[in-house]
Amino acid sequence: MHLKGLILFLFLSSITLFGENRDIHNLLEKVHQEANMQEKQKLIEELKQKLARVNKNIQEEAEAIMKAKTKSPLSTYSVTESSTIK
């Protein structure tokens, strides 16, 4: 159940990140095209905030993956005759 939740979380966050990536790309183009320095500064600040948000999301995903890896067993458990209680 936890694995399905993790996969769903990663899928939904990747969709969100790709959407934000497109927004960042558009904002970066606006910064390059803007001639007014005050407007350019505003766009740069907005770009910084969006990049910080994306960075935070990526760090949270990485932490969730590392946490899930530590919880998962390194090998599969199999019941053999020698391991059953008699």
What gap in Å lies between CA 81 and CA 86, rounded to an integer?
9
In the block, residue with structure tokens 């949270």? 60
Stretches where the chain sits below pLDDT 70 are: 1-20, 72-86
Every domain of the chain and the residues it spans: 2-71
pLDDT for the residue numbered 39: 92
pLDDT at 32: 83
CB atoms within 10 A of CB 42: 13
Q: Could you tell me the pTM of the whole model?
A: 0.55
CA separation for the pair 65, 54 (Å, rounded): 17
- Residue-level pLDDT at 38: 93
Task: Take residue 40 and report the two structure tokens written for it.
Answer: 């350019």
- Pick the closest to residue 16 from 70, 54, 72 (CA basis): 54
Sole residue written with tokens 């948000």? 53
